[in-house]
Homo-oligomer: A and B are copies of this chain.
Amino acid sequence: MALPPAVSETSFSSAIDEFTAALGSARVLSTAAELREFRDPFQFETWDENAASAVLMPETVEEIQEIVRVAARHGVPLWTHSTGRNNGYGGPAPRVGGSVIVSLRNMNRVLEIDEECAYAVVEPGVRWFDLYEAIKAGGHRLMLSIADLGWGSVIGNALDHGVTYMPYGVDMSAACGMEVVLADGSLLRTGMGAMPGNRAWHLYKRGLGPTLDQLFMQSNFGIVTKMGVWLMPYPEVYMPLWLRVWRDDDLAAVIDTLRVLMLDGTIRMVPQLMNTVLLGSVLSHRDQWYDGDGPLPDSVIDKMARELEIGRWIMRFALYGDEPVLDHRFEKIRRAFERIEGAEVWGTKVAPEDIPSLEHPAERIQGGVPSLDWNNMTAWYGGEKGGHIGFSPVAPLVGRDASALRDLLRTKVEGAGLDYIAGLLPVNARSFVHITMVIFDTANEAQARSAYEVSSQLVGDAAALGYGEYRAHLGFMDLAAAQYSWGDHAYLRFCETIKDAVDPAGILSPGKQGIWPASMRGAR
């Protein structure tokens, strides 16, 4: 077992004893078998850069406060995850080998659901599944904007700038008001929560003075233990929609049309525009289509497009609201997209109560009903050990940019012998995140290494064109952060100035998104 850097065996052993005194031995995991579940699930199995030394499973805020105090005394680096399911970016594993993981999976209480003001308050271990079930069990006519996979954490997703798809997914705007354990073990509440007994903690997004919520996202300044999340009252009608086009180069026209429809509010949610192989990987396996070497040729992709009836690009999206408004908007959307030759738009109106019985997983996801169906895509290369790396730059929601990014990514990924698997997610009317699913067989070391290498190269290639990652894989966090170098790295220096001030012992998730404590900056 790897020890954390610069921690002696004696210190580490004392820390483990004190963690055990606080939590009981059953909630301090340290055997190889216990730790296996907390590795990067897609890393080749003999690689061990990101292996933890132990995992702590606190169940209360007080236990987290005690963990932080113990870690500070012994200089032991912690790495926090909520449920640790951001698998395309490293899953539950720590940036620094030997870190002690603080897993919040057992802090999984839904603390409050308020139907009048349409919000919930949850702990970090609450998954999309859990909150969905709690809303249903309470008989609330409220919908939750969810991510693609139901096992993810509501808080964890928000803290990593994760995307969800309903109207509150636009600009990731569902989170409101946090409670945070700081590095000295004290407890802070953000926004209006900083006032004792305040009635608007989870209703108003700011407080008096600077708003700290986004400072605790994609950072290592504290451990979030509670968060408010806004819910949407049942609309009269839910209408999942599809757009399909048949030529790869229709991409630019789709994006430009979509921008206009999002800017004027006709579409107000987060669509997902998928290339043939992305949706194809959910619906089928690669060996049904091709057994040659290298990436799928265009002719095979065209065959998939036709036979699966998913086109070269297909967009899932949806409308929510009153039926007359939806009817008007659907016609407007149809007319706008059908100016593209061969484009088709279709959809179905359903009552919110009937969403769980929809057949297509995408239609359930956009309707807030969680599942694991979308996970099928990682099995693309066969076997049970499919994995992927997410490479995810942000670009203007402009056809020229979408084409330029596609050209770069397709060329590079296919150059590495892999398939170009693309999901474009317009998170607002002006920009989209290009999720590149670099899928590989984790049992195939050569393929895994190739996937890591091309993903790593893409960081700099995309930055050279003006596109930066919205979230980075453990393996390229420093490289991704290094691209944000304007003003002699002013942003990173400012973040690390804060880091040193609020976590002087440098124990909270060192290296997260490239932010290091003073004591470890040499490791970058």
Task: Determine whether A428 belongs to the interface, using a CB cutoff of 8 Å to chain B.
Answer: yes
Q: Which of B218, B321, B466, B497 contacts A208 (CB 8 A)?
A: B218
CA–CA, A119 to B396, complex, Å?
12
Task: Determine whether A483 belongs to the interface, using a CB cutoff of 8 Å to chain B.
Answer: yes
Q: Is the CB of B486 within 8 A of A194?
A: yes
* Chain B residues within 8 Å of A395, by CB: 199-200
Task: Determine whether A235 belongs to the interface, using a CB cutoff of 8 Å to chain B.
Answer: yes
Given A189-B491, A196-B486, A394-B192, A208-B481 contact (CB < 8 Å): yes
CA–CA, A390 to B383, complex, Å?
66
Closest chain-B Cβ to A204's Cβ sits at a distance in Å of 4
Q: Is the CB of A207 within 8 A of B430?
A: no
What class of interface size applies to chain A in its complex with B? 35 or more
CA–CA, A34 to B491, complex, Å?
38
Q: Is the CB of B394 within 8 A of A484?
A: no
Task: Determine whether A210 belongs to the interface, using a CB cutoff of 8 Å to chain B.
Answer: yes
CB proximity to B under 8 Å, residues A219-257:
219, 221, 230, 232-233, 235
CA–CA, A195 to B205, complex, Å?
27
Task: Determine whether A93 belongs to the interface, using a CB cutoff of 8 Å to chain B.
Answer: no
CA–CA, A397 to B251, complex, Å?
43
How many copies the complex holds: the figure is: 2
Task: Determine whether A302 belongs to the interface, using a CB cutoff of 8 Å to chain B.
Answer: no
Task: Determine whether A403 belongs to the interface, using a CB cutoff of 8 Å to chain B.
Answer: no
Q: Which of B117, B429, B470, B472 contacts A430 (CB 8 A)?
A: B117
- Give 1 or 0 for each of A457-485: 1 = CB within 8 Å of chain B CB: 00000010111111110000000110111
Task: Determine whether A139 belongs to the interface, using a CB cutoff of 8 Å to chain B.
Answer: no
Q: Is the CB of B428 within 8 A of A205?
A: yes
CB proximity to B under 8 Å, residues A315-368:
320-322, 324-325, 328-329, 332
Given A486-B193, A487-B186, A467-B215 contact (CB < 8 Å): no
Q: Is the CB of A401 within 8 A of B204?
A: no
* Residue among A207, A320, A465 having the largest count of chain B Cβ atoms under 10 Å: A207
Q: Is the CB of B209 within 8 A of A491?
A: yes
Which residue from chain B places its CB closest to the CB of A498 in the assembled complex?
A: B498
Task: Determine whether A398 belongs to the interface, using a CB cutoff of 8 Å to chain B.
Answer: yes
Q: Is the CB of B480 within 8 A of A208?
A: yes
Closest chain-B Cβ to A212's Cβ sits at a distance in Å of 7
Q: Mark the stretch among A79-87, A258-266, A274-282, A412-420 that contacts chain B.
A: A258-266
Task: Determine whether A187 belongs to the interface, using a CB cutoff of 8 Å to chain B.
Answer: yes
Q: Is the CB of B214 within 8 A of A219?
A: no
B-contacting residues of A (Cβ < 8 Å)?
Answer: 116-119, 161, 167, 171-173, 182, 186-190, 192-200, 203-219, 221, 230, 232-233, 235, 259-260, 263-266, 268, 320-322, 324-325, 328-329, 332, 394-398, 401, 427-431, 463, 465-472, 480-481, 483-488, 490-492, 494-495, 497-498, 500-502, 513-515
* Additional pairs, 10, CB under 8 Å, beyond known A117-B397, A209-B218, A210-B495: A117-B396, A182-B490, A189-B491, A190-B491, A200-B394, A200-B430, A203-B430, A204-B430, A207-B484, A265-B320
A-B contact list, 13 entries, CB within 8 Å = A117-B398, A173-B173, A188-B490, A200-B468, A208-B481, A209-B218, A209-B514, A210-B221, A210-B513, A212-B214, A322-B328, A325-B328, A498-B498
